[in-house]
Amino acid sequence: MTAAADRDYFRRYHPRPLEIIDTSLREGQQTSLLHDHYKYYFTTQDKEEIVRALILYGVKFIELFAPNVSKREAEDIQAIRATRDDLIVQKGYTFLLAHVRCHPKDVEAAIQAGFDGLNLYMGTSPQAQAFNHGKTIDEIIQIARPLLEDLRRNHPNLILRFSGEDAFRTPLDMLFRVYDPLVEYVDRLGMPDTVGVATPPVVAQRVQALRERYPKTPLEIHFHDDRGLSLVNALEAVLNGAQYVNTTLLGIGERSGITSMTALLFNLVAEQQYDYLEGYNLRSSYPINVTMADKLKTLVPSKEPVSLTNRTHTAGVHQGAVLHDAAAYEAHPLDLFGVSEQDILLGPLSGWNVVHYFLREINYFDVDEETARQVTARFKESTSELNGKISAAELLLRIAREEFHLQPRVQTPESAPKIVQRMDRTSRRIHRRRYEL
Ligand code: HCA
Ligand code: CU
């Protein structure tokens, strides 16, 4: 098999001001949500659907495990590559990156599997040196440098990244000692906050210091959420010149996870930093979150900014005001991020997952996956009936009730307080000018 690494797609690609490197299927699979409850895991089909949704969203870099972590991962990589290849004509080339240790076994397996690039990493912090691999800085260099040198010589088109794992607990001069002899071989340098210790001022200072020292080499950042700062740290890093950002859908990942992709893009809009949004299909933000939530058998978390939660109003006073004019209690243009009926049901990512979620979580229908697939097929056949008199949601609910005899699984008592969940696209007049995209 010809290694994808030998093709020159990347050398011809012009990276955008912000390149998301999605790691939902690498870091994301390390979430305790998947491992605590062993019954939950991503099937091959789940992975294909997630990758497809990411590519349609506009993501160009997708990180996966190295194929030698397990037989299943190795097989899934081939299925994911096929999904990627199917979308090349429509969306251009998407780069698949393998997360690999500085270990010939990982590297060989990734090249054989046809990856476009390698995300190499090795712990550089005093803690990693003492308790993880037990190697000194000089020994780290002695391992990484010849490996990178060989890779660069033998596979000039392979996209190479090196990360000092636990970079934020690595003193800056130590990080420079490691990166100085490696920088000439790599396309990016990574700065992962592996244990979630970074704060925005430190992030700004470090990103600037690395940009100054390695002005020709783009930076990649990766923030864990142990302190709840992964989003603000990523925002700070981007605004200080980090071009590549690791994110996952819903921010899933080891422990409390990493930065959520849609949360970051949403905040860039709120900060009016529109240049960073090039190529991202923002209207698919809520649908892509729903796709992931449905696969995890959970809700889009209430702390995710791009969620229906942020368009749900419970206090009577808020409800009255919002129905009069949404701007009263909704400051952000969530409909531009697809928190609307139209986008979730009829947008480019609509599929059985969003229909399943819409029926189950928003309308409380008792519906299994297979039925959701059948309802979706009927809904898609019937959308020509949408003539302005009936909304997409009404059509879907009618099909669910009348053709599939589905019923809501909970009956709310008459006396239960009503909530207002807004999924319309229109009533955000005040901010329209500011946020017109
Ligand atoms: C891991 C650690 C990692 C790696 C990030 C990177 C981290 O799970 O192996 O390769 O840049 O947070 O340091 O996710
Ligand atoms: Cu991580």
* pLDDT for 218: 98
Q: What's the pLDDT tens digit per position in 178-218?
A: 999 999 999 999 999 999 999 999 999 999 999 999 999 99
Q: Atom of ligand 1 at shortest distance to CA of 220? A: 11
For the chain, the residue count is: 437
Residue 264 shares a structural domain with residue 362: no
- The answer to whether 98 touches 65, Cβ cutoff 8 Å, is yes
- The answer to whether 230 touches 196, Cβ cutoff 8 Å, is yes
Measured from the alpha carbon of residue 256, the closest ligand is 2
In a domain, 372, yes or no: yes
Mean pLDDT, the chain, whole residue set: 91
Which residue range forms the structural domain that includes residue 124? 4-280
Tell me how far the alpha carbon of residue 269 lies from the centroid of ligand 1, in angstroms: 28
Residue 45 shares a structural domain with residue 186: yes
* pLDDT for 428: 47
In a domain, 257, yes or no: yes
First to last CA, the chain: 44
Query: Would you call 190 helix, strand, or coil by DSSP?
Result: strand
**Which residues have their alpha-adjacent CB atom under 5 A from ion ligand 2?**
27
156 contact partners, CB below 8 Å, separation of at least 6: none
Residue 146 shares a structural domain with residue 186: yes
Residue 210 shares a structural domain with residue 71: yes
Assign 14 a pLDDT band (cuts: 50, 70, 90): very high
For strands 219-223 and 188-193, give the pairing.
parallel
Assign 388 a pLDDT band (cuts: 50, 70, 90): confident
Residue 262 shares a structural domain with residue 320: no
* pLDDT for 230: 98
Residue 321 shares a structural domain with residue 238: no
- Cα R_g (the chain), whole angstroms: 23
Measured from the alpha carbon of residue 244, the closest ligand is 1
Query: Is pLDDT of 312 > 90?
Result: no
Tell me how far the alpha carbon of residue 162 lies from the centroid of ligand 2, in angstroms: 14
Closest CA to 164 of 192, 183, 126: 192
- The answer to whether 48 touches 340, Cβ cutoff 8 Å, is no
In a domain, 369, yes or no: yes
Ligand 1, residues 35, 122, 194: which to mutate, most atoms within 8 A of Cβ? 194
Residue 247 shares a structural domain with residue 333: no
Average confidence (pLDDT) over 61-65:
98
Query: Is pLDDT of 366 > 60?
Result: yes
Across the strands, what pairs with 401? none
Tell me how far the alpha carbon of residue 220 lies from the centroid of ligand 2, in angstroms: 12
Which amino acid, 37?
A: H
Assign 433 a pLDDT band (cuts: 50, 70, 90): very low
Query: Is pLDDT of 3 > 60?
Result: no
* pLDDT for 4: 58
Across the strands, what pairs with 61? 21, 95
| Exposed/middle/buried for residue 39 (C-beta within 10 Å: 0-12, 13-18, 19+) | exposed
* pLDDT for 1: 44
Cα 164 to Cα 33, 190, 197, 217, 223, distances in angstroms:
27, 7, 15, 15, 13
Measured from the alpha carbon of residue 132, the closest ligand is 1
Residue whose Cα lies nearest atom 5 of ligand 1: it is 192
d(CA 26, CA 157): 23
d(CA 107, CA 116): 12
Measured from the alpha carbon of residue 99, the closest ligand is 1
| Exposed/middle/buried for residue 270 (C-beta within 10 Å: 0-12, 13-18, 19+) | middle
Q: Atom of ligand 1 at shortest distance to CA of 163? A: 11
In a domain, 211, yes or no: yes
Residue 132 shares a structural domain with residue 226: yes
Sign of the torsion formed by the C-alpha atoms of 298, 302, 308 and 314: positive
* pLDDT for 39: 57
In a domain, 295, yes or no: no
Residue 335 shares a structural domain with residue 196: no
Tell me how far the alpha carbon of residue 194 lies from the centroid of ligand 1, in angstroms: 6
- The answer to whether 55 touches 48, Cβ cutoff 8 Å, is no
Residue whose Cα lies nearest atom 7 of ligand 1: it is 194
Tell me how far the alpha carbon of residue 224 lies from the centroid of ligand 1, in angstroms: 9
Locate 376 and state its tokens. 């979706």
Residue 73 shares a structural domain with residue 130: yes
* pLDDT for 109: 97
* pLDDT for 43: 92
* pLDDT for 323: 77
Assign 389 a pLDDT band (cuts: 50, 70, 90): confident
- In which element (H, E) is residue 436 found? none
d(CA 344, CA 293): 13
- The answer to whether 73 touches 107, Cβ cutoff 8 Å, is no
Query: Is pLDDT of 2 > 60?
Result: no
In a domain, 302, yes or no: no
Measured from the alpha carbon of residue 251, the closest ligand is 2
Q: Atom of ligand 1 at shortest distance to CA of 119? A: 10
d(CA 141, CA 153): 18
- E strand segments, 185-238: 188-193, 219-223
Query: Would you call 162 helix, strand, or coil by DSSP?
Result: strand
Query: Is pLDDT of 266 > 70?
Result: yes
Tell me how far the alpha carbon of residue 328 lies from the centroid of ligand 1, in angstroms: 42
- The answer to whether 391 touches 333, Cβ cutoff 8 Å, is no
Residue 273 shares a structural domain with residue 388: no
Ramachandran region of residue 256, left (φ > 0), alpha (ψ -120 to 50) or beta?
alpha
In a domain, 296, yes or no: no
Query: Is pLDDT of 300 > 60?
Result: yes
What φ, ψ does residue 365 adopt, rounded to 5°?
Answer: -80, 145
Query: Is pLDDT of 435 > 50?
Result: no
Average confidence (pLDDT) over 251-263:
97
Residue 127 shares a structural domain with residue 248: yes
Query: Would you call 365 helix, strand, or coil by DSSP?
Result: strand
Q: What's the pLDDT tens digit per position in 326-357?
A: 777 777 888 899 988 888 898 878 889 999 99
Residue whose Cα lies nearest atom 8 of ligand 1: it is 27
pTM, two decimal places: 0.92
Ligand 1 lining (C-beta closer than 6 Å) = 27, 30, 99, 119, 121, 163, 165, 190, 192, 194, 222, 224, 254
Ligand 1, residues 26, 99, 245: which to mutate, most atoms within 8 A of Cβ? 99
Query: What's the CATH number where 14 sits?
Result: 3.20.20.70
Residue whose Cα lies nearest atom 3 of ligand 1: it is 194
In a domain, 392, yes or no: yes
Q: What is the DSSP string of 43-106?
A: -HHHHHHHHHHHHHHT--EEEEE-GGG-HHHHHHHHHHHHHHHHTHHHH---EEEEEEES-HHH
- The answer to whether 204 touches 233, Cβ cutoff 8 Å, is no
Tell me how far the alpha carbon of residue 318 lies from the centroid of ligand 2, in angstroms: 39
d(CA 236, CA 234): 5
Cβ neighbours around 421 below 10 Å, total:
12
What is the number of structural domains in the chain? Answer: 2
Least confident of 4-8, 95-99, 119-123, 156-160: 4-8
Q: Locate tokens 């000092």: which residue? A: 164
- The answer to whether 251 touches 20, Cβ cutoff 8 Å, is no
Query: Is pLDDT of 431 > 70?
Result: no
Tell me how far the alpha carbon of residue 414 lies from the centroid of ligand 2, in angstroms: 47
